[in-house]
A = this chain, B = another copy of it.
Amino acid sequence: MNECSFTYRKEKTMTMPDKRNDIIQGALELITEKGFHGATMAMIAEKSDVAVGTIYRYFENKDVLINALYHELEEKILGALRKEYSAEKPFRERFLLIGTTLLHYFISFPVHFRYMEQYHNSPYGISLRRDQLLNKADDVDITRQLFTEGIIQQVLKDFPLAVLFDLAFGPLVALARDHILGFIVLDDTLITRTVEACWDGVKR
């Protein structure tokens, strides 16, 4: 019973991330579609073209997989924001840029968006946030800097940082969801106009 498959030899010296990626990709799609408990390890394995046991070589258990998935996506999104950002431009323009970039990202990767949403609103996400509450210092991200600057220079309304975040990103997240679920169809001008409306909400 030996099948010698004339191999697709990926001819790469580093085989490591290959399987891991397959698993992450498969898990991402399945969980997005079926939810955390609707997607069983067996299904994830099948979708990833991998044996069930293999998943456990890369992830200690299902919870670890779920959390790893989240952090992977978070990193991608922050990366996308950083890439577009330019500290030189005037404040308003930087704000609009972040908003539109975020929306474009969500629309380009709806699966990422849906996963993040699901995660945030599950016990996983809640406990993560609780942790972040404790060591709040580490967060050196672009948006925080931008908003802090805006408060100091009095271009933004005088609100706690969190409230400004909510005013700015709350609508964008809701908008992305509506688009992805098919309630509305976003195009570039609608995106721009909406982000400008958010600006109206936060500007002083």
Q: Which residues of A contact B (CB under 8 A)?
A: 33-38, 117-118, 120-123, 126, 129-130, 133, 157, 159-160, 162-163, 165-167, 169-175, 178, 181-184, 190, 193-194, 197-198, 200-202
Contacts and interface: CB of A to CB of B under 8 A. Distances in A.
A86 to B, nearest CB: 25
Contact of A181 (B129, B169, B194): B129
16 contacts: A35-B122, A37-B37, A126-B181, A129-B181, A129-B183, A133-B182, A133-B183, A157-B197, A159-B190, A162-B183, A163-B175, A163-B194, A166-B171, A170-B175, A173-B174, A197-B202
A198 B167 contact: yes
Nearest to A38: B123
A166 B17 CA distance: 39
A34 B190 CA distance: 38
